[in-house]
Structure 1
Amino acid sequence: MNEIVFSGEAIAAHAVIAVLCILIPVGAALVWRFCLKKGSMRYTFIGAGMFFLFAIILERLLHQAMLPLVSGNVLLYTLYGALAAGIFEETARYISFRFLMKYSRSAENAVSYGLGHGGFEAIYIAGITSISVLMMAAEIRSSGTAQMIQNFTGGSEAVAEQLRAQLLGFSQMTIPTALISVFERIVAMALHVSLSVLVMESVMVKGKAWLYPAAIAIHALMDVPALLYQSGKIPLLVCEAIMTAFTAVWVFVAIRYYKALRAK
């Protein structure tokens, strides 16, 4: 088995992702609550917990059944992946605002929730993943690729091949790509906060219930470029440009709804 080599730049790149994708979400939540004196940390933790329950546990259970059926078709894979993310995460938001935050609904707490939801996503998907990569890279350096993969997979050949492919990709990480990854997480957090405001509006304001399904559609559309990139249909920079422009539009819309909610 050929050795997988993590260069100094690859190690530094994953360290950058790990540090920034933990510090930025935590810092944003703390600034919002303690510097700007807005919202409550309680709802930040609710946002994080609901993301974990709906996106990490429930959605992945559905993926186990559905992905083998759609993975061979780019169109079906993209439609399924986008809709599943939108439905699960926006439903988590709606349930939180409708029931868990029934007596504390406000624009400020919507932002607190969004920072928890989007922040935990950044920490889990990027921060913790990069920490795991750094740990595996350290073990590769000390005991070799074959032994490390054996330790992590328990001898399963199929899992070993999958892990090896992932490690090969991780070993090619560069500083510019790491910074793009961090920027992507910031953009995603901004969208999560914006969608939280829209869903809060759907719960608080009579006649605005349509904003909940609208949030599902917006979330699904945001995931389309990422899924197309993963399928090799568009380059990374095009993907990031589309997602950034799309998010900027909804941040602008959410600011207007935020101001309207605060006035109520």
Structure 2
Amino acid sequence: MSVAPITLVCLSLATLFVAALPVSLYRRLRQPLALDWRDTIAGVAVFAFFAAVIERALNDHVLHGNAATAQLMANPVFFVLYGAFAAGVCEEVGRYIAMRLIERRAARKPNIPADSAAFGYGIGHAGAEAWFVGVLVQLQWIVFAVLANRGNLDEHLSNLTLDSVLRVHLILSSLSPLFAGVFAIERTAAFVFQIALSVLMWRGVRAGWKGILPLAILVHALIDVPAAMYQARLAPLAAVDGFYAVAAAVVAVVLFRTCRRKRRVARAA
């Protein structure tokens, strides 16, 4: 089998776009919002530890390692609930801890924009997700596609089982320019949501509101519900991606307006 050149080009462009998104946004906002690189590194570290390590280990145990929970997760309703709240709890607990630590340092810098730390952290958290969940995975499929077009794929996958090799071929056969577009939309929407969640958490932490962590977990879980429903085959991909595209656009507009309004108020004061 082979992957069409146009598909490879579209997938490569979509991957480059997602890879450049956090870097370009950080450079664009670094001076206007007085971003601190330490906040961004904190965001990267939190996602890498709480999502890529803790959440992944929890998922392996619940979905595969424990027979009782694995059987329970065979029910689509329980799978959706678990999938949504597992990500929400792991990531938001990490975000909350990081924000509490960042808030102590930010208190010594009263002249910076109010949401500077939130955006700095959010870009790091969202950027890490974009790379770990998006860029690195798609780079693997691009390499597999190139190997398939050269006729070297099966040789490269010789250490895998027959079922795994067939699964790789099946996924490669499903790749298309539309898939590349869907990938770019999904990762961009996730990027917007992560920054919005960071701003939400930051404002709650700075206000000293004790309910901010449960609220952030709930909001994060609600965002993940459509994706979990698709994985459980309860919703079509087109509907899920359409919802995320519209929701991300609305969130981006609201985020831009509220942050711009706060900057104007700060300047007037």
TM-score norm. by structure 1 comes to 0.85
Q: Percent identity?
A: 26
Q: Does 1:108 align with 2:116?
A: yes
2:195 maps to what in 1? 193
Q: How does 1:69-80 map to 2 (within 5 A)?
A: 69=70, 70-80=72-82
1:243 maps to what in 2? 244
Shift in Å, 1:143 = 4.7
Unpaired segments ≥5 residues, structure 2: 65-69, 108-113
Quickly say closer, same or farther: Cα 1:93–1:197, change in 2 above 3 A.
same
Please report the RMSD computed on the Cα atoms of aligned residues, expressed in angstroms. 2.5
Deviation per CA, 1:212-259: give whole Å up to 9, x if none.
211111111111111112222222221022223444555566567755
- The number of aligned residues is 253
Q: How does 1:1-264 map to 2 (within 5 A)?
A: 4-34=1-31, 36-68=32-64, 69=70, 70-104=72-106, 106-150=114-158, 154-155=159-160, 157=161, 160-162=162-164, 164-206=166-208, 208-248=209-249, 250-251=251-252, 254=255, 258=259, 263=266
Residue aligned with 1:102, SS:
helix
Q: Is the 8 A contact 1:7 1:171 kept in 2?
A: no
Unpaired segments ≥5 residues, structure 1: none
Cα distance in structure 2, aligned partners of 1:227 and 1:249: 21
Quickly say closer, same or farther: Cα 1:13–1:161, change in 2 above 3 A.
farther
Quickly say closer, same or farther: Cα 1:211–1:249, change in 2 above 3 A.
farther
Amino acid at match of 1:40: D
Cα distance in structure 1, aligned partners of 2:164 and 2:81: 24
Residue aligned with 2:136, SS:
helix
Cα distance in structure 2, aligned partners of 1:227 and 1:30: 33
Cα distance in structure 2, aligned partners of 1:163 and 1:30: 41
TM-score norm. by structure 2 comes to 0.84
Q: Is the 8 A contact 2:102 2:117 kept in 1?
A: no
Cα distance in structure 1, aligned partners of 2:145 and 2:130: 21
